[in-house]
Amino acid sequence: MKELSLNILDIAQNSLAAGASRVEIALREDASGRLTLTIRDNGRGMDEETVRRVTDPFYTTRTTRKVGLGLPLLKLAAEQTGGTMEIISSQTPPAGTTVTAVFDTAHIDFTPLGDIVSTVCNLIQGSPSVDFLFTHETPRGSVELSTAEMREMLGDVPLDSYEVLAWVRDYLNEQYAQWS
């Protein structure tokens, strides 16, 4: 994939497909250019065999298509920079899955993050009742958005209304614009 934000969209969609009501997307970049992506959900989780085989592109529980590519592509994107991908998942309460990928952003094969603001907006638009927590921390600045907090402020206004989505986009863009 040309943009890491598209990989992130894919992995977060797995969380939604697993029935998650809460999805955390965290990007943490340190001064040496090491980027850690964490996607954590409270969905139904995977059994051990699935976790073991899930990074193999010929394994999927889907019946409509034989090949699942979300996790294998993220793994490839991380490993081609000398990084790693790890999955921790539980089906017994508190069930959920955490996918962690580490990238070297200075590596020539690092896939640029791309349009992460659109990824976050697309997720909210597609699943307005899910609690999304997005954080992006770097030495240059940080960005945060919590749809659970927004929902408290907005009351009955649905998060997938045009006005709210436009506000979310502006809010994220403004935070990014403040980075040095």
Ligand X SMILES: Nc1ncnc2c1ncn2[C@@H]1O[C@H](COP(=O)(O)OP(=O)(O)OP(=O)(O)O)[C@@H](O)[C@H]1O
Please tell me what DSSP assigns to residue 14.
H
Residues of the shown chain interacting with ligand X in the complex, contacts defined by CB under 6 A: 10, 14-15, 18, 41, 43-46, 50, 54, 60-62, 68-72, 97
CB of 177 to Mg ion, least distance (A): 32
Q: Looking up tokens 């850690």, which residue turns up?
A: 36
Tokens of 26: 């965290």
Other CB atoms within a 10 A radius of the CB of residue 7 amount to 27
User: Cα–Cα distance between 39 and 117 in angstroms, integer?
Assistant: 16
* Residue 14 found at the interface with Mg ion (CB under 5 A): yes
User: Cα–Cα distance between 138 and 35 in angstroms, integer?
Assistant: 9
* Residue 70 found at the interface with Mg ion (CB under 5 A): yes
* Residue 72 found at the interface with Mg ion (CB under 5 A): no
User: Cα–Cα distance between 142 and 89 in angstroms, integer?
Assistant: 28
- Closer by beta carbon to ligand X, 96 or else 164: 96
Q: Which does 15 bind (CB under 5 to 8 A by kind): ligand X, Mg ion, none?
A: ligand X
Q: Which does 46 bind (CB under 5 to 8 A by kind): Mg ion, ligand X, none?
A: ligand X
Q: Which does 24 bind (CB under 5 to 8 A by kind): ligand X, Mg ion, none?
A: none
- Closer by beta carbon to ligand X, 70 or else 150: 70
Structure-derived torsion over alpha carbons of residues 20, 148, 100, 36, reported in degrees to the nearest 10: 160
Q: Which spans of this chain sit near Mg ion (rule: CB under 5 A)?
A: 14, 70
